[in-house]
């Protein structure tokens, strides 16, 4: 059969060659008869022989040798007929047959189970099947190794690269199609929701289920809401049995919900409760559903919920303000212990050194008014630690009589290195009385006392809770408007709040040219916030006539004051004028920033924002880079760093200036 195929193929080739031409298809057919037909035949016969004679390695080797001999014979016959280029094409074509090529079957070590499927079982008897299967299991790890020529290896690598590239293209195309389909599905879904008929919408319908972690919880809560609606309708229509059933299901659902926040927190019985509630709601809908009544009931429930939200918001604001103005037990303990030990000292030991520096205008003077010992110590410690020459810095502390002993004792025990410090009692400033100071006179009035101390006052809304803070009743907060009276021999002074920390040397601030202005401060206005109209009542003609509502606001906390210009322009007199006009709080609410904006209007020089970064007491999104580059960091807001409600990510900037192993701090359980 092989000879006949070769003979026919060669005769066809000879006819083509003899005729000097011929069709291309005739050549292909002849080549196939000469080469491919014998090879295919050799393959199947070889496979059968290979399988039948696989009883030992010798048989396999003989079959392989036989196949190699036939291939060599065929190629010898062809070499005399074709040129080298044609033979290379034929050889490449046989390799390109893929899994049906002879090379593929030789190179792949196919399992015996595959062979059993491919080879006709009629070639062997049952006894041979048994022996062969046994031998196959013992020779499963065997493999035929064939050395490839460089040409074949190169072509195979090219084919693999083409297949890999095509596969990647198909995968990418599939991914793009998948994403496009998902986007289109989401768009269609949103359209269907937007165009849905609200009267037919039911949150517990199956098509509205989702894979969210709290989908069942929200479903149960929605069921409870609708159950309450139908309970009201059942009561209205005297459906006693249905009413009791609804109330029972509401209690069951609420008991299952408990404090759960995700579906994983729900008990196993949650699905049963969902099903039972759904059945009761379906029953109630059949008996009670009336669109107008349901709408009215839902509207009433919405109004009630809205009132509850407002009440809870007001309560939350009150509690936040309450927490902000409380003193932690540890700080109160520290103040009491220091006060006791201070008054046990002899008068000679209560004096600070270097008192001659207190009125030296050539030094760098700071004003700090505080009733918080720990906060004041952090301000002084941070300023001294970052100062280039601490011996030239003078700190003027003013506190109230309750904390006067504690403040003195702390700095006597912990002197600020070579810096000078002095502590005064605001209650000993005899010139600061109600006849001279309008705010003191107003604080003593009956209207002000009613505003502060009468809880059920009609104006005690959440908007006024912010100003019900003891600091607004303390003269320590208003003493900033009397700096020339407190320090009459100084030319410049840097005012600091007690909720700041210093991170850089501040002496360059004394070199800043204020250009004839009194106050040097960092502006806080943005595009539409922290401007004058936020702090002042521009419906009042006095305010509207004298100030620009879009004027930029600035911040207290770190302010450089030129006391010479202050005296020249009578800043304290301007403050008194406007404070007297605001006796009924019609120009601004309580506080010191609004009267400060008025008093220093047109007299404030803007400083570089890097000198003073604000908001660490209320804004959680301040950039870390801005904080670290700032000379002064300000914890303005309710979340002071010494309170438990302080933001944890900002607190380390403050606590690193506290020595927590100090004996007084350990005794009062003050720790990070």
Q: Is the pLDDT of residue 115 over 80?
A: no
Measured over the CA atoms of residue 601, residue 490, residue 384 and residue 511, the dihedral's sign is positive
Mean pLDDT of 147-164: 82
Out of 393-407, 445-459, 648-662, least confident range? 445-459
Mean pLDDT of 309-324: 76
What secondary structure letter does DSSP report for 34? I
Q: Is the pLDDT of residue 196 over 90?
A: no
| pLDDT at res. 177 | 67
| pLDDT at res. 505 | 96
The model's pLDDT over 412-462, given as tens digits with 9 standing for 90+, comes to 999 999 999 999 999 999 999 888 999 888 877 777 666 665 644 444 444
Please report the DSSP string for 572-598 in residue order.
HHHHHHHHHHTTTS-S--SSSHHHHHH
| pLDDT at res. 320 | 73
**CA atoms of 181 and 259, how far apart (whole Å):** 39
What is the gyration radius of the CA atoms in the chain, in angstroms?
47
| pLDDT at res. 285 | 86
Q: If residue 632 lies in a helix (H) or strand (E), which one and from where to where?
A: strand 632-634
Burial class (CB in 10 A: 0-12, 13-18, 19+), 397: buried
Task: Give per-residue burial for 155-167: e unless 16+ CB within 10 Å, then b.
Answer: beeeeeeeeeeee
For residue 303 the two structure tokens come to 């109004």
What is the distance, to the nearest Å, from the Cα of residue 565 to the centroid of all Cα atoms in its chain?
48
Average pLDDT over the chain reads 77
Nearest 10 degrees: Cα torsion 190, 195, 199, 205? -30
Residues near 666 by beta carbon (within 8 Å), at least 6 away in sequence: 660
Most distant pair of Cα atoms in the chain: their distance: 136
| pLDDT at res. 613 | 95
Residue 70 — pLDDT band, cuts 50, 70, 90? low
| pLDDT at res. 468 | 57
Closest CA to 543 of 589, 579, 512, 588: 588
The percentage of residues in the chain with a pLDDT greater than 70, rounded to a whole number, is 66
**CA atoms of 540 and 587, how far apart (whole Å):** 7
The model's pLDDT over 169-192, given as tens digits with 9 standing for 90+, comes to 776 665 666 666 666 666 665 555
**CA atoms of 401 and 409, how far apart (whole Å):** 13
| pLDDT at res. 454 | 60
| pLDDT at res. 584 | 82
For residue 77 the two structure tokens come to 């016959």
User: How many separate helices (H) and strands (E) can be counted in the chain?
Assistant: 29, 10
The model's pLDDT over 527-577, given as tens digits with 9 standing for 90+, comes to 556 789 888 999 999 999 999 999 999 999 999 999 999 999 999 999 999
CB atoms closer than 10 angstroms to residue 108:
12
Who has greater pLDDT, 301 or 364? 364
For residue 15 the two structure tokens come to 């006819």
The model's pLDDT over 450-459, given as tens digits with 9 standing for 90+, comes to 666 564 444 4
């Amino acid at each position: 059969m092989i000879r006949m195929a070769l003979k026919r193929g060669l005769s066809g080739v000879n006819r083509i060659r003899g005729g000097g031409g011929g069709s291309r298809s005739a050549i292909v057919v002849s080549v196939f008869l000469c080469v491919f037909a014998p090879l295919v035949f050799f393959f199947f016969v070889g496979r059968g022989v290979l399988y039948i004679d696989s009883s030992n390695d010798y048989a396999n080797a003989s079959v392989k040798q036989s196949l190699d001999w036939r291939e060599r014979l065929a190629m010898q016959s062809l070499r005399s007929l074709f040129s080298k280029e044609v033979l290379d094409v034929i050889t490449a074509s046989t390799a390109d047959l893929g899994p049906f090529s002879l090379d593929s079957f030789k190179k792949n070590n196919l399992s015996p189970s595959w062979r059993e499927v491919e080879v006709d079982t009629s070639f062997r008897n049952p006894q041979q099947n048994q022996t062969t299967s046994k031998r196959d299991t013992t020779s499963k790890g065997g493999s035929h190794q064939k050395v490839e020529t460089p040409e074949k290896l190169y072509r195979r690598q090219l084919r693999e690269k083409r297949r890999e590239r095509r596969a990647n293209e198909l995968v990418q195309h599939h991914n793009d199609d998948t994403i496009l389909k998902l986007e289109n599905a989401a768009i269609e879904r949103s359209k269907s929701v937007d165009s849905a008929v609200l009267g037919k919408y039911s949150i517990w319908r199956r098509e509205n289920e989702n894979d969210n972690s709290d989908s069942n919880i929200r479903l149960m809560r929605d069921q409870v809401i609708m159950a309450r609606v139908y309970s009201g309708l059942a009561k209205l229509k005297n459906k006693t049995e249905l009413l009791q059933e609804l109330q029972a299901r509401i209690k069951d659902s609420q008991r299952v919900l408990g404090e759960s926040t995700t579906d994983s927190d729900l008990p196993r019985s949650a699905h049963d409760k969902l099903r039972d509630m759904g059945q009761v709601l379906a029953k109630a809908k059949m008996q009670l559903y009336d669109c107008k009544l349901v709408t009215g009931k839902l509207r009433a429930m919405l109004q009630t919920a809205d009132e509850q939200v407002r009440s809870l918001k007001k309560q939350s604001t009150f509690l936040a303000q309450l927490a902000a103005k409380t003193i932690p037990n540890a700080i109160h303990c520290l103040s009491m212990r220091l006060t006791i030990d201070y008054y046990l000292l002899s008068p000679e030991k209560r004096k600070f050194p270097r008192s001659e520096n207190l009125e030296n205008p050539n030094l760098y003077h700071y004003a700090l008014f505080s009733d918080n010992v720990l906060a004041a110590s952090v301000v002084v410690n941070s300023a001294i630690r970052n100062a280039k020459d601490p011996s030239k810095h003078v700190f003027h502390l003013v506190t109230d009589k309750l904390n006067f002993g504690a403040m003195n004792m702390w700095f006597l025990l912990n002197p600020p290195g070579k810096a000078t410090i002095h502590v005064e009692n605001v209650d000993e400033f005899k010139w600061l009385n109600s006849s001279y100071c309008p705010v003191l006179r107003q604080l003593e009035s009956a209207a002000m006392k009613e505003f502060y101390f009468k809880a059920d006052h009609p104006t005690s809304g959440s908007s006024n809770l912010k100003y019900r803070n003891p600091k607004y009743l303390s003269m320590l907060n208003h003493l900033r408007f009397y700096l020339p009276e407190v320090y009459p021999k100084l030319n410049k002074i840097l005012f600091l709040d007690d909720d700041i920390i210093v991170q850089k040397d501040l002496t360059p601030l004394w070199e800043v040219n204020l250009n004839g202005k009194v106050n040097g401060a960092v502006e806080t206005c943005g595009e539409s916030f922290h401007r004058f109209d936020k702090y002042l009542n521009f419906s009042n003609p006095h305010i509207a006539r004298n100030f620009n509502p879009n004027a930029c606001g600035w911040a207290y906390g770190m302010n450089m004051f030129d006391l010479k210009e202050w005296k020249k322009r009578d800043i304290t007199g301007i403050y008194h004028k406007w404070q007297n006009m605001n006796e009924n709080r019609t120009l601004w609410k309580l506080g010191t920033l609004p009267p400060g904006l008025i008093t220093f209007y047109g007299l404030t020089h803007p400083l570089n924002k890097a000198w003073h970064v604000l908001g660490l007491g209320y804004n959680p999104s301040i950039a870390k880079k801005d904080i670290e580059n700032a000379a002064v960091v300000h914890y303005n807001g309710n979340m002071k760093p010494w309170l438990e409600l302080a933001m944890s990510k900002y607190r380390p900037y403050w606590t690193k200036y506290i020595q927590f192993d100090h004996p007084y701090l350990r005794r009062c359980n003050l720790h990070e």
